[in-house]
Amino acid sequence: MKKLINDPFDMVEEMVEGYVAANDHIIKRVGKRSIARANSPIQGKVGIVVGGGSGHLPAFAGYVGKGMADGAAFGNVFASPPAKPVIEATLAVNGGAGVMYTYGNYQGDCINFDKAQDKCREMGIKVQTVVLNDDVLSAPKDQAHKRRGIGGLFLVWHVAGAKAEQMASLDEVVAVTNKANANTRTVGVGLTSCIVPANGKPTFSLADDEIEIGLGIHGEPGIKRVKIRPIDSVIDEIMDAILADLDYKGSDVALLVNGLGGTPAEELYVVYRRVKQICDANKINIKFKHVGNQVTALEMQGTSVSLLRLDSEMHDLIKNTTVDTCMYKKV
Amino acid sequence: MANVTGALIAKSLVLVAKKVEQNKDYLCELDGEVGDGDHGVSMTIGVRAVSRAAKDLPANCTPSEAFQSAADAFADEVGATIGPLYEAAFAAAAESVKGKQTLNEIGDWAIVYRSMANAIQVLGKAQLGDKTLLDAFFPAVDHIQALATKGGDLESALLSTAERALKAAKDTRNLVALKGRASRLGDRAKGHQDAGATSLAVVLKGFADGVKKG
């Protein structure tokens, strides 16, 4: 294992210390593993608290700042944070209008965030939760509630953050976040494994000529392993799965071609080229487009494609909101 | 025979931690086959905190206080799914022996283990056969319960209970996962031994060895 670290068991602690110092114009530390916007709590604004395991930056802490999230909790690598940092972030961002938790659908995150939610409600804070489940291939359509949350969170949080920035009520922010989640689909493909630092070895192995379709962002196995082949035909398969799950034909969309951490930007543009061709052929109008590493899996090579089907409300929210977070900006 | 005081349980927790950490790579390997490969890491982070807390306990602590310190350690340091599960388990263990100064009877440990397994089931909502740590824990609980009725020597009862858990953990190879990350794999998880069931067997072995050492 070659990584820019000291003791692997100190990695998250040292990362958080550096992260907070590097972004101290945007955020403040509110606990050992929790951060909040520097100017929080903002009176009358719904606070959005995100979080999950480390190893996915820019997700999740990277989106704390104006226009997206207000606070975040860091877990260990690929492990949900305990309830404690979630509670710390909640207390820090609660400006009286309530707090929304939003995170990907994993058992650990659900248990720990629910525990934090219970505790904060006992303290009299209004808390609601929207769990994201955009990963099409992680469960069949009739069991969509079991699907994992992956790259699509970047698009959903755009909408959620914009609504909260307009000083909407907690119910309104929750409603639009649910709507965005319901209209978002993602499929990924992994080319290599990744190394959890404290483990020191690759999580799994893929042969040199194999890729895995549907691979999760923690290296969870996908639905099938296939021989490496020209990427256009892989993207065709990914887009087929997305378009078969939700009717995007003729719609306006926000789109993310996401890198998993170890794939060069050049390759992501080759992917985007094919995605664009398929959208054009299906009369899908790309209103907002993003190409780059957003929801990563350490140094894993691969990509995921996410589409958010927009209505006029979600379109205008994204269009009219300035975003200035630690790791993502939009004018 | 050992007198199982709170101090001895604290010493046993340190031993549990040592054993789990020794198995870190093996547990990660098992988890990597079907999950995300970090089970050994999460458990190690947890038991390191457990070990630190156990060493800080006063010599006259009760068994309940020793178990509660392990619950608090898991609550603050681990996260993931396993953090809250072990927190709940150790908190239930603490509750189940409140007021007791020693756990010298097999029946005491039957109560401790059953409380732990029940708490895990309530929080994790898994059933027997879902390929989780409960598939190692419940057979072990039944085993020690039977021994408690029959009567006998505590040290060998704890050892054979740990062995029963290990055998049951190995038998999870035949199960299809219905909980956790591996549940999305369906039949692909068959043939793989569950990492959580395996670490549970390691934990029980740690208690058995700790009590035996005295």
Please report which confidence band the pLDDT of residue A290 belongs to, taking 50, 70 and 90 as the band edges: very high
Q: Is residue A131 included in any domain, yes or no?
A: yes
Catalytic residue list contains A290:
no
pLDDT digits (tens, 9 = 90+) for A26-35: 999 999 999 9
Distance CA A305, CA A72 (A): 25
Q: Do B181 and A139 touch (CB under 8 A)?
A: no
Q: Are residues A243 and A221 in the same domain?
A: yes
The arithmetic mean of pLDDT across residues A301-315, rounded, is 98
The arithmetic mean of pLDDT across residues A283-290, rounded, is 98
Residues of chain A that touch chain B, judged by Cβ-Cβ distance less than 8 Å: 9, 53, 75-84, 106-108, 111-112, 115, 138-139, 146, 148, 196, 198-204, 216, 218-221
Residue A120: the pLDDT is: 98
Q: Are residues A36 and A164 in the same domain?
A: yes
Q: Which residues in chain A are closer than 8 Å to B179, comparing Cβ atoms?
A: 107
- Mean pLDDT, chain B, integer: 93
Residue A149: the pLDDT is: 97
Q: Is residue A211 included in any domain, yes or no?
A: yes
pLDDT digits (tens, 9 = 90+) for A138-149: 999 999 999 999
Q: Which of A5, A56, A76 to mutate to test the interface with B (most CBs of B within 10 A)?
A: A76
Residue A66: the pLDDT is: 98
Overall CATH class of domain B6-213: mainly alpha
Residue B92: the pLDDT is: 98
Q: Is residue A301 included in any domain, yes or no?
A: yes
DSSP A40: P
Please report which confidence band the pLDDT of residue A273 belongs to, taking 50, 70 and 90 as the band edges: very high
Q: Is residue A97 included in any domain, yes or no?
A: yes
pLDDT digits (tens, 9 = 90+) for A218-249: 887 788 899 999 999 999 999 999 999 999 99
Q: Do A218 and B38 touch (CB under 8 A)?
A: yes
Q: Are residues A81 and A212 in the same domain?
A: no
* Strand positions, DSSP E, chain A: 27-31, 34-37, 47-54, 65-66, 71-77, 99-104, 127-132, 184-190, 210-213, 224-227, 252-259, 285-293, 302-310, 323-325, 329-330
Kindly provide the ipTM of the predicted complex, given to two decimals.
Answer: 0.84
Give the CATH number of the domain where residue A273 resides. Answer: 3.30.1180.20
Residue A220: the pLDDT is: 78
Q: Is residue A236 included in any domain, yes or no?
A: yes
Residue B89: the pLDDT is: 98
DSSP A131: E
What 3-state DSSP class applies to A76? strand
Residue A219: the pLDDT is: 82
Residue B31: the pLDDT is: 87
Q: Is residue A2 included in any domain, yes or no?
A: no
DSSP secondary structure, B116-181, as one string: HHHHHHHHH---TTSSSTHHHHHHHHHHHHHHHHH---HHHHHHHHHHHHHHHHHHGGGPPP-SSG
**Containing structural domain, residue A146:** 8-182+319-330
Q: Is residue A1 included in any domain, yes or no?
A: no
- Reading chain B (214 residues) residue by residue, the pLDDT tens digits are 689 999 999 999 999 999 999 999 999 889 887 777 789 999 999 999 999 999 999 999 999 999 999 999 999 889 999 999 999 999 999 999 999 999 999 999 999 999 999 999 999 999 999 999 999 999 999 999 999 999 999 999 999 999 999 999 999 998 887 766 667 666 666 789 999 999 999 999 999 999 999 8
Q: Are residues A214 and A157 in the same domain?
A: no
Q: Which residues in chain B are closer than 8 Å to A148, comparing Cβ atoms?
A: 184
Q: Are residues A193 and A325 in the same domain?
A: no
Q: Do A111 and B84 touch (CB under 8 A)?
A: yes
Domain count, chain A: 2
Q: Are residues A174 and A197 in the same domain?
A: no
Q: Are residues A71 and A137 in the same domain?
A: yes
- β-bridge mates for residue A109, sequence order: none
Catalytic residue list contains A158:
no
Q: Are residues A146 and A23 in the same domain?
A: yes
